[in-house]
Structure 1
Amino acid sequence: MTHQEISHYRLISQKLYKTTPCSPQEIVRHLGAMQAQDYAMAKWAIGSRCDSSEKAIEEAVSSAEIIRTHILRPTWHFVASDDIYWMLDVSAPQVKRFTASAAKKYGYDDKKLDQVNSQIEKMLSGNNHLTRDEIMQELNIKKTSNEDFLSAAIMMNAELDGLVCNGRMKGKQITYSLLEERVAKPKNKLTKEEALAKLALRYFKSHGPATLLDFSWWSGFPPTTCKSTINAIELQLNSIEIDNQTYWFGNDISVESDFRESVHFLPAFDEILISYKTREASILTEHQSKAFTNNGIFKPIILENGKVIGTWKRTIKKDYAKIETQFFHESESHKKAILFEELKAFENYLGTKIVIE
């Protein structure tokens, strides 16, 4: 298997070929957790894998079929509602180390964070959905640049404790609500080993072929933990050796899967790039600095046959959306013509006309 073939199989495992109809929640559940700090772009990460509109995905988030919260690495993710509790149980303890360290800089130890959680629970009780600013106002925490870091740590801690999650949008503002008022708690809990095995299976079936270090990066767990987890589930996976690296993937993807021509407009921070430790299978090393920066900022990308060939950006106008493209090689600018077919899906998703420049 070559890097080109790996990128092809990842298109299949990540459901970018849209071979079967899926709802937004089914896409999120399949992928396990989808990075979602850029909310507008994260919705298109779901939309690019199904035929749902932005409004339908927004409704799935507002109705708590899909939860947007901090989980796995210390950043926003989309998670299916029926995965939220077991995934929090297994991943929250490691992510809380970051929030605890951030809060301590402002004099908030575990005891004080628990007290703040109690206050937040009271103000959100009864399906009350408040913005972060509204919650901080109730907590008498002023809005300054320093306190903004504190408020982020407080709310992330409350998310990781399973107290809060996203609420309904207030206009364009994100709100918080009580998780247990939105998603019923399951009666049974998984052991840590069971949850890790479930997380690993979900990752390799939805992101494979991928390596142990890829899973370690995506999940946030150290390589030693990931190695023992893979050992426990290896009979449920396929694997292949390339350049002394073992790549794992689901049993339901055949290595004879037909190759097909494809073009994809994918959002910033899409799983096709961000969920792997190294990304040579999808983007040449000399182009990587054009698609993402060393400090973790990822641009929207254009994929042709599984390879990143350029970047794009969207500007929403009154009656249309403008798409500007930038190809890595100027000689490829003629490929704009092949992008129009893919843009039809984006037009349907946005519900507005697209103009490409």
Structure 2
Amino acid sequence: MPVPHTSLTPRVMGRLRLASQGLLGGGFPTVPGAVRWMTAMQAQDLGSALWAVGQRVPGTAASDVRAALDAGTVVRSWPMRGTLHLLAPEDLRWILGITSDRLMNLVAGRHRELAITPDDISHCRDIAVKTVEVLKAAEGAAGASREQLFQAFEEAGQITKAQRGIHLLGSLCQRALLVQGPMALSNGKVGVQQLFVPFDEWIPESRDLGREEGIVELLFRYMRSHGPATVKDFSWWSQVPLTEARAALKVVQDRLVELEFGGTSYWLSPETAAMLDDGVPGSRSFLALPGFDEYLLGYQDRSLVLAPEHAELVVPGKNGVFRRIMVSGGEVVGTWSRTVTGKTVGVTPEPFAGQLGPAAERSFQAEGRAYLKFMAS
């Protein structure tokens, strides 16, 4: 039965989402646990992805998330929307089985322009595997960098200019032939790039789910970790066609709770919905979330937590680049930035309206100190 919605407001709905995503209360005990719960976390900007995990796993440091990538307990790849995400390693193959065909169809025209054929992709797979083997034997390397693979492609007659190399690499990852592995070193320091390794070598064990079963699993986990959300939110997030998404919802709706708000059905876990009985916590919560955080980006309709008139302040010019956001009591109230003055690194709030009140300013500064400590460690 639908939960009564007489006390629902956009801010309450936002706080329910905060709770579902582990952003209220104690969060998650481990980095892999947080990523596995979220199923897929937007991660094209690595620094933002590190802090997104850090906000959900209290007491961690950026180095802990990098260590999880190095150990393979978390992977970073392109499972959906042609965008990098963090995932649990055992989930990547079956999710690609659902999403990759659609993405490859979308880029088919571009591949024709770049003269990329199935034989070219198979050729580059062989080149990539051989390159990793040679680097391991000669240097003890854990994988090959993008530049090393491009050089090997070129030497074998595969052109990499005009984005052809990027599309070849992307195709190998979409087909679960390659995957990004440990972090690469740059001048002796950990950089922002990862090495590429053969998929089966880096992820020796994967779950095996067929398409229908996989979509059901994906939808359930999305609603559990992102709810309250709509089936259209899920379809946009996963790129699963709406017809298949609705069919999957029928399978799992008895394991979820439906909320009707504003004439729309939203779905969430029973555990999160139970918070409505005693009042949803977090009315005074204040978070400084990274750009691209799932709290805002992970939905087709973001108007519940972000007023439409402020949307372009978060995504200027609708260019797809999400700025860092401040969230007060479930509502996005502004953006924030990292500032550097000489040798001093700080944070600056950029509220949508006026200035932050004294309590909010104190909360923001505490969040800023936590962010700077996290990123420096």
Give TM-score scaled by structure 1 length: 0.91
* 8 Å CA contact retained: 1:100, 1:109: no
Counterpart amino acid of 2:180?
N
1:336 aligns with 2:351: no
| Structure 1 residue 108: Cα displacement | 0.6
Match of 1:106 among 92, 114, 130: 114
Shift of 1:95: 1.9
Unmatched 5+ stretches in structure 1: 353-357
Query: Are positions 1:22 and 2:42 aligned together?
Result: no
Q: Distance in 2 between matches of 1:153 and 1:10?
A: 35
Query: Which amino acid is the alignment partner of residue 237 of structure 2?
Result: W
Aligned to 1:311: 335
- Identical pairs, percent: 24
Q: Which residue of 2 aligns with 1:239?
A: 258
Q: Do the aligned residues in 1 keep the contact of 2:172 with 2:178 (CA within 8 Å)?
A: yes
Deviates more, 1:160-169 or 1:200-209: 160-169
Distance 1:209 1:23, change over 3 A: same
Q: Is the 8 A contact 1:200 1:230 kept in 2?
A: yes
Which letter does structure 2 place at the counterpart of 1:63? A
Cα deviation, residue 248, structure 1 = 0.5
User: Which of 174, 177, 185 matches 1:170?
Assistant: 185
1:301 to 297, 320, 325: 325
1:332-354 deviations in Å (ceiling 9; x for gaps): 365422312323432441247xx
SS where residue 239 of structure 1 aligns? strand
Counterpart code for 1:296: G
- How many angstroms apart in 2 are the aligned matches of 1:72 and 1:120? 23
CA contact (8 A) 2:75 2:88 kept: yes
Q: For 1:315 and 1:116, locate their aligned partners in 2 and report how far apart those are by CA, in whole Å.
A: 42
Q: Please give the alpha-carbon distance, in whole angstroms, between the structure 2 residues aligned to 1:331 and 1:323.
A: 15
Distance change (3 Å), C-alpha of 1:42 and 1:113? same
For residues 316 and 219 of structure 1, the distance between their equivalents in structure 2, rounded to whole angstroms, comes to 37
Name whichever of 202-211 and 150-159 sits farther off: 150-159
Q: Where does residue 150 of structure 1 map in the other structure?
A: 164
What is the Cα deviation at residue 299 of structure 1?
0.4
The aligned counterpart of 1:206 is 225
Q: Tell me the residue number matched to 2:375.
A: 350
Distance change >3 Å, CA 200–CA 120, structure 1 → 2: same
Letter of the aligned partner of 2:329 in structure 1? N
Q: Does 1:224 align with 2:246?
A: no
Amino acid at match of 1:303: V
How much has 1:21 moved relative to structure 2?
4.0
- State the Cα distance separating 1:201 from its structure 2 match: 0.7
Task: Report how many residues are paired.
Answer: 349
- Hey, what's the Cα distance between the residues in 1 that align with 2:340 and 2:67? 20
Range with greater deviation from structure 2 (312-321 or 85-94)? 312-321
Which amino acid in 1 is paired with 2:303?
Answer: E
Query: Is it true that 1:82 corresponds to 2:90 in the alignment?
Result: yes
> Is 177-186 or 316-325 further displaced after alignment?
316-325
Instruction: Indicate which of 251, 256, 263 corresponds to 2:270.
Output: 251
Comparing 14-23 and 270-279, the one that deviates more? 14-23
Q: Deviations over 1:304-330 (max 9, x none)?
A: 111111111224678653212211112
8 A Cα contact 1:99 1:157, kept in partner: no
Q: 1:317 to 1:119 in 2, by over 3 A?
A: farther
Q: CA deviation at 1:218?
A: 0.5
Runs of 4+ with deviation above 6 angstroms? none
* TM-score (norm. length: structure 2): 0.87
Unaligned 5+ residue runs, structure 2? Answer: 1-7
- The corresponding residue for 1:355 is none
**Residues 267-300 of structure 1: CA distance to partner in whole angstroms, max 9, x if unpaired?**
1110011111111111111111101142311101
Tell me: CA distance 1:69–1:148, structure 2 relative to 1, closer, same or farther (3 Å). Answer: farther
- Per-residue deviation at 1:2? 2.0
1:96 aligns with 2:104: yes
Higher mean C-alpha deviation, range 324-333 or range 49-58 = 324-333
